[in-house]
Structures are given as structure tokens and as C-alpha cells.
Chain A
């Protein structure tokens, strides 16, 4: 067993063929199913969400990222080591959902923010200009806003070189804000996000509902 462990590479796992394409996941993670259910008038029901978000975004503060590289936009940030640098991801990109202007991330106003992120996979390199496209089928109930605009993820955050080599790597984030129509009687909406703008990442898999896509539900009561 020990001998087996010695043969392992510390930086890159031997096989990556089991994860050829990343999954999408939301943050904060509701306790069981992906349902954001809370009441605007009862802060306790959403406190956990906002707390989680705050904690999650801490590493993304300017203070925390000052040692990171300000990489050039629009191109993959390929490196050959032995020292790997991580690119800054200014939290301000998340605009309304950055927590800077609204520490409640819109929850208290009934316009909750949810972060969507693409799973990290070592040396994954998306084609084109990847973006997270979010939509809802429940038209007329809510508008879905994404930050940065159009949910674009800059190529400079790719490729990822692994926990060991790529210290300080900031996973690029896309925030989704659900803004209910003022006349909507029932504030319940299902949001589907998927990866777009790229060809080599799968978004359709019969069995894996999270491969390149994610579906979550937002249910806000007064």
C-alpha cells in the first residue's frame, strides 16, 4: 500500500479520464436538494445562505488577492512551472452579488444571489469563450441576471494546475440573481444554468444531471 502511494504523482493524478468535462455547481449549497427556500421577513431562514456566501467570498477580497497575478484578459494563462501563478478574480465582477454593496446578497429584498461555478479539473482548457447561461422556464415570474455580464468566464482562469502546484488559484465565479416580477403572486422559480460559448465541454448527459449544467429552485415567501 505504502509502495503504491509512493508511485503516485503528488501534482497530477495518474488518470483524469473519469472527469473529461466539468460539472456545474451552485453556492451556497442548500442542505439537501438544490432549493433556496426562505422567508424575507425572517432573517434566520436565510442567514445561513448569506453567511456562507460571505465566508466563501472572503478569499476573493482585494486584500486576500494582492499577492496574485493580474493576468491579461481573454487568453489562457498557460504556465510551465515550476512556480505557478494564480490570477486575480476581483469580487467586484459579481456586481450586485459581490456583497460589497449589499451584505445580504439580495436575500432580504427577495432578490437572492446564487453563485454558479464550474468544477475544477486539472489542465482543462475550454475552447472559445466560455460562459454560464442561466434561464428559467417560468417566464413572467422572474428575471434572471448574471454577473459578470452574460456570465462570461475569462480564459485566463484556465488551465488549473492542481492544488499542490497552483497555490492561491481563484476559481472563476458567476453570480445569478433572481429578480421576481413585482406582480408575481407566487415567488417560485426554477433556474437552469449551463455552460455555453464553448464546444469541448459537455452539457447533455442522460445520467449526470450536473455535467455542464445545474438546475436549482428559488422559493421566496414574504
Chain B
């Protein structure tokens, strides 16, 4: 990504700011270019405007000036190729890996550390140049900072490099060879050379070389899954069946696959102009905004830098006033700024996010981009797909209508509702027979151990649903089919809208029975009688009305309804009769109507719960689907996206019996927006809808519209999560703050455009993801509060060293030991902290006001707890010096003598004289004890950071990692102090046991202090203390 360039795409006005420019000409040129690019992008978001599918063959021929049998002449083809360019996707200028790596190394937090590192080297350089003294501390810190950045940079680069390969997969989709007809001859040419108007032929197994309008097809089926996410192969024919070019059956699309059959057609779009090409360029042209956590970290860096610079500059002036030289003052300035850099925090944050990512992966949310972990937590709007995410993606029989009664079938995933219907009715017997026999679906072999509902089937979704239903609630369908062999059939097609088959009967092996299923209104036309409780009655008006009502009721629930009927063929059509299904030499009228079965892709069991959880968590769930509004609404209602009692304008109009236009839209909370309405909306109207309705369903939407919806939500300041599975979803996935691809049904491209992959395709997993995301945000706050606190006891020694001229109480190496040693594990362990309250019961955080690090957190950490910690450190420092002979008052102003290497008879408060080395050993012992004091007060800090509001006694100490952290930091401190050789390696010295106890009272003080603070906060919600100290 190139943030600079893309930002200017999004906000081109920026370039018009009156910034003095040295080269106005080039700027204008760039501006123009950028504007053009922006326009292109807007264009791409528009609907695919294509009318080729509606043209007759002659018009088509004329439009592309091509002969529909001979194809282009070679010369023409050549000309067009020169004119339009090759039929390939424009490769996106890929960012070299080293640049990506550099971005990792120099982005955000790293920059702060680099600056620190650079300042260290600078200070070392100045020191080396002007003072011959060999103070290597600054050098070490500089190196350590650089190493920290490098290591974390490599770590995140490794994490990131696993993802973002979008264009590459687009590239791989390009087919290599295409069969075209030119000058009347078939020829195999490179796909790159296919031009507009070319006559192409495709057959099963081919990849489609361009967008093609079919002129003839034989049993052609295409797999559009990589484009639309629909996994069923779809039949293609030369007829225009739909207004929408994406839906019509006479267009096949670039880089989809032809599964079976053959087809011939005219190329109507090539390269980047194809539907796939447009999506590819749209996806790659989209800007990805900064992730919320990146924004937070930036904010944090600003705060920290401000504090560092403020401290640095004020002490710079102070040291000048105190009479230090310029040089010393500059070195102090650098030292103070560097001391403010929390060296370990970058690593801590990275590790915390990684841990949560791992935990989410266990809950079926695979996070590709670490920062997205938190994004999910701040999500305020989820735009969810319907199919597969909210629903089981498995057509299931939902209702039956026979004997003039609607019965409900069990649609739950594991059949636990125990809903049943009168299976003893004879009508059911007929219905089940027809459903099982007049059915071309079959189970795939070797699945005996698999539960029926989960078995794989061949055949279309409705038939499979019937098959499973009959197998489950009636009898083995296979057995039934063997006993009632099929002798003839008319398969379903879209003109007939019915399917018919004739079977020999098991109970009367010489008689045939004709069975039929299909669109209910078609079936009713065939029928002259109906079955009621196993008895045949002539069709009457009453029955027709009942039928209409039932049909409407079931259809109104968004279900796909099929009608069933049969006819016992007369004896002259007994066994041995040759049925001719083309000429229809048998009666096919006056059938007997049996019943209706309706099917739906039912919602997943866990979804309604998840949706209500989202609702209580203040997250708006918007359904965006390509399905019909009725189905969409039905599912939305059943999962609670449209909650019970809320009605749409249409519902209210129907209830009050008034036209839709008269409904007072202000009183409504739910709306179903049709894709065609959305198409004509300007963005303000969309914003208005998004703002004023709480429950929104978008139906019949196209992929581009999904993107528009996402952008609309983002305009309103929401943090948007989007789910999607097809290639067509990838622009929306990429644009969303967090794109969620489906792990099972999702196409590779969508997975690559997404930030997160839902391994089980289940909406409910998103909610657990949100929960984890929110938890990590809270826990990161705690982690940062913990880490920042120890900054104060790290900085103050240096400040007092300057002001009071005392021997340095805490050295650089010991600071590093804290930041990168003892503080690490405890800080990370806070990531394992359990939530304090139900985090799913509060609103999503407001990215503008609810910051990761705010002045209250800094105030608490720096101003209060940090100060107590510093006191603890200084206390033990003074204790050690005093017990060795240097009383506190005698230390004031001693610094110059203390640090003079040639002064080897420095007198202490008792008249004893010390060599330089002897007193330095005492000083380093002080550093060690200051360090250990910090470790001890950090115990208390860790324990108080566990909670932000609750008492520790409520939260408990169940976090085992945290207990380990406490233990680990103590052991580590002891090792650093007592290991032989540490005096040489790190200049840390063993402490007397009683010096460990110096800090313990302060530790207790911190704990009591903070517990009382939290007590007051709990007692007086919204009070002054909460406003000032609750972070």
C-alpha cells in the first residue's frame, strides 16, 4: 500500500492546499492524474452497465462488426488488438518486498524507537568527541533499541507477508489459451490476443477467456463461484433471462470455469473491462484506512513524545540554569527523551495481539493482519452476507402443507427441536413418495456413517433437500426407488417449471403412476382433484383458495415452495408401455393434487443468539444479500436482524391496509432496501437510511453496492466489518475496516482481500471474535498502564541526578533490564486477564473519544503510581548509601567528585575515604537495589492493573500466566543480582536480603491506594475521581 498516494485519491483537495510548490507544473499534472484515477474508481463502483445480453444476434453482430459464423478477419482482429490492448489484467505495480519490510521497520511505534536509538548514538558521539571518558551506556541503549525494532519488525513482516497477495491470485486466474474463430477458421490463440467481438468457443474444463455473450450453447454449465460465491454450477443458454447482466444466462464471465457442455459466443469485454477485471482494479485501487489500533498507537506516540519532549526541554533549561555546560545539557536532554521511550512496549503489544490472534484462531476466527484483532473489537457495524454466514447454506424442508394444514419441519442443524407432523396420514404417504421418486438427487456413495443432514448429494439444492427430508422422516429413498423403478421422466426446465416421472408401483407392479412436482401454480393447473386425508376429492374453489393462502403464507416466509401431484395411469398404460416424453403419448392432465413442500436455507442455530448479543453490544447488524427481499426479510426476522415487533414500511402498509407511500417512515425502525432502489440513491440518501433505521436489510444487491454500503457506514463514523465469500465481495472486504472472508465457501481472492477468515463460516464466530477484540483492547490498556508506570522510577533518578547532583541512582543497563526483562512477561500476562464485566453489554468504543492511551492513563501511571514507585526506589537507594557511610544530606552536590575517576579519597559521612572504584561498586549496588525495588513495586502495579474498576478481591488471582509473570520477574531479578559474573557483565551486584524489603511498604501502599481509588470510583459512578483517573 502507498498511503501517500492513496490518501490523495481519497482527498484530492489536499493537494490544492496553498502549500508553496517549487514545481507547480508537475504538481498540476499529478493532480490531474490523481483526479482521473479517482474518477475511474468512482466509475468502477457503478453498476456494470451492459446491454449486450439484451441485444439480438443481429444487433450484436452490428455492434461489434463481426460475422457471427466467420468471426473477425485476421486483419481486423489485429487492428482491434492494437486499439484496445491485450486481453489481460493490468498488473498492479507491486511494492517490492524490501519496501514492505522497510514499512514494517519504520512505521508507527518503530519510528519512535529509531529516533531514540539515533539520539543515543548522537549522545554517544558527542560524548566521545568532547569528553575522552568512555561512557558506553548510550551506545548500548542505541544498539538495544535498534535490535528491538529490528526483531519486532522482522516478526511483524513475517506475519504480514503471509497475506496480501491479491493481485497474484488474480494473475493466476488468467487462462492461457483460447479457441477463437477468425476468417471462418477455428484457431488456438493466446488469451492475451483475444479481442472485442471475437467469436470464441468454450467447452467443459475451459476457463472463460473474456466476458462472452453466448450465441449458442449445448448443456453448458459454468461455475461462477470465483465471481459470485455461488457454489452451484449454473446452466447457460443464449437467451436473455434477466435484466441484470450478472444474472442473465447468456453471458459467461472472464476467468470463471465452464464445467460441462460447450458454448459459442461473442467477446463483449476484454482485460480490465471485464467484470472480473473491474473487480480486480477496484480492489487494488481501494484505500485501506488505518486500522483503529494503528490510530491509537499513533495517538499514544504523540502523547509519549509530548511528555518526553516537555520533560527533556524543561530539564534542558533547568540544567543550563543550574550551570551545566551546553554539552552536558544536550546530553541530559537526549538522555531524558530516550528514557521516556518504553523499549519493551512494541514487543509487548505485538505479542499480546499475536496471542489474541491465536486464541481467536481456536475460536474459528483466523486473523491475517495482527492489527485487525483489535479492529473487530471496535466494530460498530457488521454487514453480513446471508447465505452461508447467517444461514446453513443448505436448503432444508421447512414447511409442508397437506390435508389443508401447514406443518412445520425441523430445520435446526442437529434436529433437536423435535417438531413433527402426522405421518400417519395417507396424504403424507403419497407426498413422500412423489418427493422421493420424482427426484433426481442422490446421496454420494460411502456416507453411511455421516448424519443424513450432512451427507453430500448430487443434484440441485431443492431436490437434495427433499431427498434428505424423505430419507429422514419417511424411509430409505434408495430402497423406495428400487421398488418403484422409474420408466420415464421429463426433467425440470425453466420453461416448463415442472418435473415429471413415471414409475412402476411396488404394490401393483403392473400399474404405472405419474408423479409431478414443480412451481405450485403450474402444478395446480394440471390438477382436477385433490387429496384430503388419503381421499380424492374434485378440485373446488374452496380448495383453490386454501391453496392460494397456503402458497402465499409459505412464500411470504421467503421459502421456496414446490407443489406435488400424481396420477394413477389407466391400465392401458400398464407395464411394458413405451412412454415417449417428447411426443407425450400418455395422459398428463387431471392429476391429483397432494400438497406443498416449502424449503428454505435455514438460519444457523447459533445465529439468533449471536445477533442479539451484537445488539446488546451496541453493534448494528446489516444484512446485505443478493437474495430476494422476501427471503432476506424472512431470514432477517428469524435471526433477529429485524427484531420481533419491528415492521418495515411494507409490513405496516399491509397491516394498516394503506399504500406504502403513506406510511410514516419516522415511526419505523426496520427497512428492506432493494438493490434497484439503492442504485438510484445519492450518497446522502443512503446515509440517511443508514442513520435513521436501526434494522436494515439490503436485498438484491450487487457487489459494487456492497462497497457503497460499506463506504456509507464508514462515512457515518462506524467501524465496519464485512463478510463475504465471492471474488465480487473482495472490494467491499478490502474497503471495510475489517473484511471477513468465509473459510469454507470463500474464494481465494476474497480470503486474500480479507483481514480475517471465518473458518466455520458461522456468524456466531464473529461475535466471539468481537468479544476477544474488545477484551484485548481493555487488556492492552492495562498492559500499557503497567509498562508505562515503571517509566517514572526510570526517569526520576536521572532527573534528580541532574538537579541534586547526587550519584546516579539507576543506570541505563538496569533500565533496559526492567523494560526488556522483568516487565515483559507480566505485561504480556495481562493479555490473559479475564474481562471485568460483560464486555458484550456495552457499546462499541467510540474511536474518537475512547482512546487506548489517554491523559488519564498517563496521569495515573506517571503521576501517581509511578511517583510512589520512584519513592520506593529512592528510598532503597538512600538506605544503601547511608548504611555504607554516605548519608543522604552529604550526597547532595557530590556528583562531580563522585564521578571523578582521579579522585580516590572521597570522604563519606563518617570520615572514611573511598577510591573511585569502591564507591562505584556501591553505586552499582544501588542501581541493583533500585532495580529490585522497581520489581517489587511492579508486583503491586501488576496486581492493581488487573482491574480498572473492580476490586482485586472480586477479580481474583486466577490468571495463571500472571502468577507466573510475578514469579518470573522476581526470579529474573534475583538471577540478575546474584549470579556470579554479573558484576562484570551487567555491573549488577548481590544485595543484602534486608535491602529487598525496602520497597515492600511502598508496594503495599500502591495496592491500598489504588484499591481505595477504585472503591470510590465504584461508589460514585461518574464522579470527579472517575472522570480524572478512570482510563
Contact = CB atoms under 8 A, between A and B. Distances in A.
A106 interface: no
Interface in B885-921: 885, 887-888, 902-905, 907-918, 921
> What does DSSP make chain A's interface, helix, strand, loop or mixed?
loop
Contacts of B883: 8, 13-15
Contacts of B884: 13-16, 18
B921 A119 contact: no
A17 B915 CA distance: 14
Contacts of A5: 882, 887-888
B875 interface: yes
Interface string A3-47: 011001001111110110011110001101110000000000000
A24 B875 CA distance: 32
Given A25-B904, A29-B903, A162-B911, A18 B922 contact: yes
Interface string A149-174: 00000000000101110100100000
B878 interface: yes
Interface in A98-145: 117, 119-122
A13 B908 contact: yes
A210 B919 CA distance: 12
A8 B887 contact: yes
A85 to B, nearest CB: 16
B922 A205 contact: no
Contacts of B888: 1, 5
Given A25-B905, A29-B902, A34-B902, A121 B913 contact: yes
Nearest to B915: A23
Most B CB atoms within 10 A — which of A1, A5, A19, A120? A19
B879 interface: yes
A119 B903 CA distance: 12
B887 A119 contact: no
B912 A162 contact: yes
Contact of B904 (A8, A11, A210): A210
A66 interface: no
A162 B914 CA distance: 14
Given A18-B918, A32-B902, A23 B913 contact: yes
A214 interface: yes
A163 B917 contact: no
A208 interface: yes
B916 A210 contact: yes
A176 interface: no
Given A23-B904, A23-B905, A164 B878 contact: no
Given A1-B878, A119-B905, A19 B918 contact: yes
Contacts of A23: 904-905, 913-915, 918
Contacts of B905: 23, 25, 117, 119
B610 to A, nearest CB: 58
Contacts of A55: none
A8 B889 CA distance: 13
Contacts of A120: 907, 911-913
Contacts of B910: 11-13, 122, 162-164
A170 B431 CA distance: 122
Nearest to A30: B902
B875 A25 contact: no
Contacts of B925: 18
A27 to B, nearest CB: 8
Bin the interface of chain A by size.
Answer: 35 or more
A220 interface: no
A162 B888 CA distance: 18
Contact of A122 (B882, B902, B904, B912): B912
Nearest to B916: A210
B911 A166 contact: yes
Nearest to B903: A29
Nearest to B889: A5
A4 B879 contact: yes
A25 B913 contact: yes
Contact of A8 (B882, B902, B915, B918): B882
A23 B909 CA distance: 17
B912 A210 contact: no
A61 B23 CA distance: 85
A210 B917 contact: yes
A211 interface: yes
B133 to A, nearest CB: 11
A29 B905 CA distance: 10
Nearest to A162: B910
Nearest to A14: B883
Most A CB atoms within 10 A — which of B884, B888, B902, B903? B902
A86 to B, nearest CB: 12
B703 to A, nearest CB: 71
A106 B875 CA distance: 50
Interface string A41-72: 00000000000000000000000000000000
Contacts of A160: 911-912
B769 to A, nearest CB: 52
Contacts of A162: 910-912
A18 B921 contact: yes
Nearest to B885: A13
A217 to B, nearest CB: 12
Interface string B473-487: 000000000000000
B912 A13 contact: yes
Contacts of B909: 13, 163
A162 B909 CA distance: 9
A16 B908 CA distance: 12
Contacts of A15: 883-884, 992
A169 B916 CA distance: 23
Contacts of B885: 13, 16
A33 B133 CA distance: 12
Contact of A208 (B879, B908, B915): B915
A124 B767 CA distance: 74
Nearest to B998: A4
A117 B913 CA distance: 11
A195 B903 CA distance: 18
Nearest to B874: A1
A19 B914 contact: yes
Contacts of A163: 909-911
A32 B131 CA distance: 12
Contacts of A214: 904
Nearest to A166: B911
Most B CB atoms within 10 A — which of A18, A120, A166? A18
Nearest to A209: B917
A28 to B, nearest CB: 12
B977 to A, nearest CB: 16
A163 B910 CA distance: 5
A208 B917 contact: yes
Contacts of A12: 910
A222 to B, nearest CB: 27
B921 A211 contact: no
Contacts of A22: 913
Interface in B848-891: 875, 878-879, 882-885, 887-888
Contacts of A24: 904
Interface string B127-148: 0000000000000000000000
Contact of B915 (A32, A34, A164, A211): A211
B1030 to A, nearest CB: 32
Given A8-B887, A19-B912, 5 more contacts: A1-B888, A18-B925, A23-B913, A29-B903, A119-B913
19 contacts: A1-B875, A4-B879, A4-B882, A5-B887, A8-B882, A12-B910, A13-B884, A14-B884, A18-B922, A25-B915, A119-B912, A119-B913, A121-B912, A122-B910, A122-B911, A122-B912, A162-B912, A163-B911, A210-B904
Interface of A: 1, 4-5, 8, 11-16, 18-19, 22-25, 29-30, 32-34, 117, 119-122, 160, 162-164, 166, 169, 205, 207-211, 214
Q: Which 4 pairs between the two chains have the least Cβ-Cβ distance?
A: A163-B911, A23-B915, A119-B913, A208-B917
Interface of B: 875, 878-879, 882-885, 887-888, 902-905, 907-918, 921-922, 925, 992
